[in-house]
Structure formats: C-alpha cells, structure tokens
Amino acid sequence: MELFDFVVRGTPRTPQTKSPKARADWKERVKIAAASAWPAAALPMRGELSARIAYFFTGSTDLDVDNIIKPILDSLEGLAFDDDNLIFEVTARKTQKVANLTVREAPPCLVDALSSLPEFVFVRIGYGPDHTELPK
C-alpha cells in the first residue's frame, strides 16, 4: 500500500485533556476510523514511514499541534504499522475550516469531510522520508 488516508470526526483529545475517558474515547474513535478505511487482509506497513496530520476546526482552537500527534499515532499501532517508532517524519498542522475551503490534490475522504463535517482530523500514512532533503 502506497498511502493510507482516513478522516476522524470531531475535535482531537490530547495528553493534556483532563478527562482520561475523553482521551480513551478519542483514541478508540481514531482506531475505528482507521480500521474502517484499512483494506481487508492488508498487512501493516513496514519500513520507514511518514505521517501527515491536519486538524480542520471551526471557530478557534487552543490545541497545540504537537499534542495532537501522539494519541493518533499510538492508535494506529497494530493496524497501519507495528510500532510508531517506524514513523521517521511527521507533518502536522491546524487549519481553520472556512466556507469554500479547497485543498489541492485532496483524496476523496478529505473532500467528503470538507463538505460534510464541522471538525475533523485528516491522517495520511505513507513511505518516506527522503533523508537527502530537509523537511518542507
């Protein structure tokens, strides 16, 4: 599998979230969303991997982008990859979801989410990185 893309509905919960139940519920929501997008009988991805994570929010957010990452990657262990130590590069961002927001070269799951969900996280796991280039 070259790329694995999926969307998780809702606002991310981070390690700083006060409620342990809310954190656990978020990780379970990530697992369910990933499992529903994972091809049947596909093995976990192997080798050096990259992760792209984008939180699309409405209004404003005080979430730190670095805190969004860890629960998502932890939730993918055993499905998309065996261990998150295989992630060699992460790109993450927050994007305010405004009317008519268009993302170039968006996969179908992202296009659908942009048109129908108020807040969500888009996740892409792929191979890489190219160690001869600095991150962009």
This prediction's pTM: 0.94
Asked if residues 84 and 133 have their Cβ atoms less than 8 Å apart, the reply is: no
Question: Helices 65-76 & 20-37, crossing angle to 10 degrees?
Answer: 60
For every one of its 136 residues, what pLDDT tens digit does the chain have, with 9 covering 90 and above? 689 999 999 999 998 889 999 999 999 999 999 999 999 989 999 999 999 999 999 999 999 999 999 999 999 999 999 999 999 999 999 999 988 888 999 999 999 999 999 999 999 999 988 999 998 7
The residue whose two tokens read 């139940």 is 21
Strand partners, 29: none
Domains of the chain: 3-127 (3.30.1330.70)
